[in-house]
Amino acid sequence: MTRGVLLESLVLPWLLLTAALLAGVRVTEAGDFRFLVPPLSSLVAMLLLMMVLVQSGVVEPWALMNERRTPLENMNGAVLMAALAMASAQVVSAVTPEAGLPLVLGVIFLLALFANTLAARPGRQQALRALFVAFFASFTVKFIVLDALYAPDKSLGGRLLTGLLEGVTLGSMDHVVWGAATGYLTFFALVIYFLALAMMPQPSRASGVALART
């Protein structure tokens, strides 16, 4: 088994499935584990994200599935694309707040960024950098800023600030605070997800020319 086959059939699918599993886990303050499936908004954002990955060359679907490959190789490519879609939906859901106005703003932010990236048509490295910044910025807002504002043991200033925000937004400024372990699991999920994106197989120039001629 060659290095490319091993990467495509085993390493990358398992990395992406691991990222999807970690991104879906939520740990409560009491230490209970829950697994959340991505909402419809995350699925829509996932479609835009997949378009960005394909357009920028991070993922080459035609290199993973084409008539020059054997049926087993095409099946491996299909499994890899399915694992990528699953992981993408879960990491989008993981960095997006679960309720209220933060959920709406988080989804709008990611959708706008993905749409803007599609319009800009960046290269592979530029797209990876832009997505890296966007996802970790969303992670910071959700697990550091909002969690600090809505922590059960927050200070008087924090309670006054959240009360002011809820008054301005007519009570829609809600946020679900999970246990601290949830942030760590999501952080590792993002690291594994971007590691998998960086390791995605890229067709050689010769194979790319051959595919373009078919």
pLDDT at 27: 92
Residue type, 176: V
- What is the value of pTM for the model shown? 0.82
Q: Is the per-residue pLDDT at 207 higher than 50?
A: no
Residue type, 209: V
Distances (CA, A) of 192 to 16, 22, 40: 7, 10, 23
Give the tens place of pLDDT for each residue, 29-76.
888 999 999 989 899 999 999 999 999 999 999 888 888 888 888 999
pLDDT at 178: 82
Distance CA(86)–CA(61), nearest Å, equals 16
Greater model confidence, 51 or 207:
51
What kind and span of H or E run contains 162?
A: helix 156-168
Distance CA(86)–CA(194), nearest Å, equals 14
pLDDT at 208: 44
pLDDT at 150: 66
Give the tens place of pLDDT for each residue, 70-106.
888 899 999 999 999 999 999 999 999 887 777 788 8
Distance CA(130)–CA(127), nearest Å, equals 5
Distance CA(87)–CA(108), nearest Å, equals 20
Domain ranges of the chain: 3-213
Q: How big is the CA angle at 147 (ends 145 and 153), to the nearest 5 degrees? A: 120
Give the tens place of pLDDT for each residue, 146-171.
877 766 555 444 444 444 444 444 34
Per-residue b or e along 81-112, where b marks 16 or more CB atoms closer than 10 Å to that residue's CB: bebbbbbbbbbbbbbbbbebbbbeebbebbbe
Greater model confidence, 147 or 19:
19
Residue 186: name the closest of 131, 123, 124, 143 by CA.
143
Question: Confidence band (pLDDT; 50, 70, 90) for 3?
Answer: low
Question: Confidence band (pLDDT; 50, 70, 90) for 185?
Answer: very high
- Joined together, the tokens standing for residue 89 give 């939906």
pLDDT at 152: 54
In three-state secondary structure terms, 154 is: coil
Indicate the burial class of 28 (C-beta count within 10 angstroms; 0-12, 13-18, 19 or more). Answer: middle
